[in-house]
Structure 1
Amino acid sequence: MGKPPSQFLEIPDKNAVYGWRGLIIPVLAVLVIVCFLLDIAFGSVSIPLKEVARIVAGQGSENVAWLYIVQKIRLPKAITAVIVGCGLSVSGLQMQALFRNPLAGPSELGITAGAGLGVAVVMLGGGGSASLYAIRQLGIADSWLLVFMASLGSALVLLLVLSIGGRLRDNIVLLIVGVMIGTITLAIVSIWQYFSQPEELQEYLMWTFGSLGGVVQTHLYVLAIVVALGLIVAFSSSKALNVLLLGENYARSMGLNVARSRLLILISTSLLTGSITAFCGPIGFVGIAVPHLTRSLLDTSDHRLLIPATCLVGAILLLVCDGIAQLPGTQAVLPISVVTSLLGAPVVIWIIVRRNNLRTAF
């Protein structure tokens, strides 16, 4: 028999999309715009917000240097931050609903590692290296190939976790299995790296740190299209995610095609995680932290509201992290995954302490 809904994943309120919760979406949208402009304004060279707004609006600027910095460097990076924040956050939200596990996420279940294996097949298999420089040199055709292989790697790992999860009743054990699958995947990539040249090892290490600045304008279109497709599939699965909170047996009794719903979630998560990891490297803790922050903010488990809110909160978080990573006033730039880990890890600790015993949370 399926398990009843828990305190963490309560039965969705059919009226959750109305009332005061609906007002939060416009507020979050305004915060995204504010953080977007601030992220562009601050860095090694500070640019007045008024000038940033003019340049973003297409009105240009008399300062040629500011115009170049915004249009060629900071604007693509800020757009990438929004895309990455939306994609990874929704991926984590779907995984937590599908597995009914508060600690499920793309990184924790090995999905990100599977995407990394797909990237290694393309970059290392061709005699190159999976570095940010190498990714920048890819043509459009190679970009689509990179996204396809990364998404395929994500899908294969997720399929494996789902197949094993069907035989397990313990969410904690399933999480451990996901971590082990990710470890095996990383070990395969490490063996590949062992036989690579020292220069390739260094460049691959830089890729593993994660970066929002590695996506040039040409490839930003590819990333945006794939993530948009993944988000559309996720939005179309919102009602199915609500029903899955009750458990698969309950979902079947309510007429839900569980196999079809799981397939759609698999496709969405693979597209989102695979494409983002391919161009930006592995970025951890976003997928696990943002859904919890959004649930705490809205006090609901209705995915009709959670999915758009999670997108906006994820975009805000990545823009803030990117602003911190730029270390305004200095020439140094921190890897984005380092900043997301520093902000996301305390959220995970908070989840564990708050639940006290994760076994009793479901």
Structure 2
Amino acid sequence: MNRNRWLLLPLLLAFLFGLNLSLGSVRIPFGQILTVLTGGDATDPVWAGIVWNFRLTKALTCILAGSGLALAGLQMQTLFRNALAGPDMLGLSAGASLAVALIFMGQAAGIRLLYEPSPWTTALVASAGCFAVVIIMLAIAQRLRDNVSLLLVGMMISAAVSSVVGILQFVSKAEEMQIYIVWTFGSLGSLSWPEIAILTFALFAGTVLAIRSAKALNAWLLGQHYAQSLGVPIKRSRIIIIVSTCILTGSITAFCGPIGFVGLAVPHLVKLLVRTSDHKILIPASMAGGAALMLLCDVLAQLPGSTQVLPINAVTALIGAPVVIWIILRHPRMQP
């Protein structure tokens, strides 16, 4: 692997991190931002609060969400040997969406989970929805021998859950539906430091499981029979990979909402850059690439020169969809 190419990712990540911190509705000189981050006193005391409680938390959320989704997407594409497999293919995002829909729109169907949902309770309920799908998928994974069938089951769960959400939208009031739709747009700037700590722990747990599965992921690249011939415990490794993906996707969806295309596009872009199939390299490279892409999307979402901020899902789709189309056209028979 070309070392110069490898160095591009951390350099790009550092540049986008600094750029993200420097943008906002309040103009703060970058030197003052560095002063605040290093423990110094800013010229304007208000700047310190903006940097610590708004810009830094949002930038860290971008890094955590982007790296987690990219790692989840890499594992799914390798496990299913499907270039278009994403972190939401197992129905995790759909499970979280249904749980949140029941909070905001369930009253119209005679279901009232919470009377005054807060960001914390919304995150907990979304996590519960993801966890419910995890239990179902793990139970099914014990009975199915091939990954393609498991992927189809995940897609059918997503379709069924989406139908239920559609029914809730149809019978709910306009203001209730609007709250839910805003949640589905995704948000990176609303997390507090305790929430970031929980998201960091979830990312650490999911990453540790992924690193432990690096050898198994390399074997899965050539198919289930090849992995089995190398002595890889098929059921155990598949469950570990699924649990890692569930932890990453579930926690990010719970706190940031369903964010699309990052986990789907980043692994392909990273493979074009580092040109290797070794997951010991692809795992950290994909995480760095995902963090960089999410920071870039957040920079574009802030509409420089304007106080308005676009929904993060709209920006990730605008960037991710053309990338995926380009990759498919360039490599029509591409394998992960």
TM bucket (normalised to shorter chain) is 0.7 to 0.9
Read off the aligned partner of 2:131 and give its amino acid letter: L
Identity fraction in percent: 44
Equivalent residues of 1:294, 1:313 under 8 A apart: yes
Structure 2 residue 229 is matched with structure 1 residue 229:
no
More moved, 108-117 vs 72-81: 108-117
Distance 1:323 1:43 in 2: 9
Equivalent residues of 2:94, 2:162 under 8 A apart: yes
- TM-score, length basis structure 1: 0.82
2:253 maps to which of 274, 277, 294: 277
Structure 2 residue 5 is matched with structure 1 residue 20:
no
Shift of residue 355, structure 1, vs aligned partner? 2.8
Equivalent residues of 1:112, 1:282 under 8 A apart: yes
Structure 2 residue 27 is matched with structure 1 residue 46:
yes
Structure 2 residue 58 is matched with structure 1 residue 77:
yes
Change (3 A) 1:216 1:196: farther
Shift of residue 154, structure 1, vs aligned partner? 4.7
3-state SS of paired residue (1:277): helix
Q: Tell me what 1:250 maps to.
A: 226
Shift of residue 34, structure 1, vs aligned partner? 1.9
Distance 1:29 1:93 in 2: 19
Shift of residue 237, structure 1, vs aligned partner? 1.0
Read off the aligned partner of 2:62 and give its amino acid letter: A
In the alignment of these two chains, the number of paired residues is 330
Q: Tell me what 2:128 maps to.
A: 149
Distance 2:323 2:144 in 1: 25
Distance 1:199 1:155 in 2: 31
Structure 2 residue 313 is matched with structure 1 residue 326:
no
Q: Which runs of 5+ in 1 are unaligned?
A: 1-18
Q: Which residues of 2 match residues 71-150 of structure 1 at below 5 A?
A: 71-120=52-101, 125-128=112-115, 134-135=118-119, 138=120, 142=121, 145-146=124-125, 148-150=127-129
Change (3 A) 1:349 1:144: closer
CA RMSD of aligned residues (A): 2.7
Shift of residue 118, structure 1, vs aligned partner? 4.0
Equivalent residues of 1:43, 1:327 under 8 A apart: no
2:45 maps to which of 64, 69, 87: 64
Equivalent residues of 2:32, 2:43 under 8 A apart: no
Equivalent residues of 1:106, 1:273 under 8 A apart: yes
3-state SS of paired residue (1:207): helix
Structure 2 residue 268 is matched with structure 1 residue 289:
no
Distance 1:144 1:182 in 2: 19
Q: Which runs of 5+ in 2 are unaligned?
A: 107-111
Distance 2:146 2:140 in 1: 10
Q: Tell me what 2:192 maps to.
A: 216
Q: Tell me what 1:191 maps to.
A: 167
Equivalent residues of 2:127, 2:254 under 8 A apart: no
Provide, for residues 106-129 of structure 1, a one-character-per-residue CA deviation record: whole Å limited to 9, x for no partner: 235533222323444567552347
Provide, for residues 276-323 of structure 1, a one-character-per-residue CA deviation record: whole Å limited to 9, x for no partner: 011111110001100000000011111000000000010000001001
Q: Tell me what 1:16 maps to.
A: none
Read off the aligned partner of 1:325 and give its amino acid letter: A
- TM-score, length basis structure 2: 0.88
Equivalent residues of 1:115, 1:153 under 8 A apart: no
Distance 2:257 2:243 in 1: 20
Q: Tell me what 1:3 maps to.
A: none
Change (3 A) 1:193 1:127: farther
3-state SS of paired residue (1:327): coil
Provide, for residues 225-280 of structure 1, a one-character-per-residue CA deviation record: whole Å limited to 9, x for no partner: 11221111111111110011121111111111111111111111001000101111
Read off the aligned partner of 1:149 and give its amino acid letter: A
Shift of residue 167, structure 1, vs aligned partner? 5.7
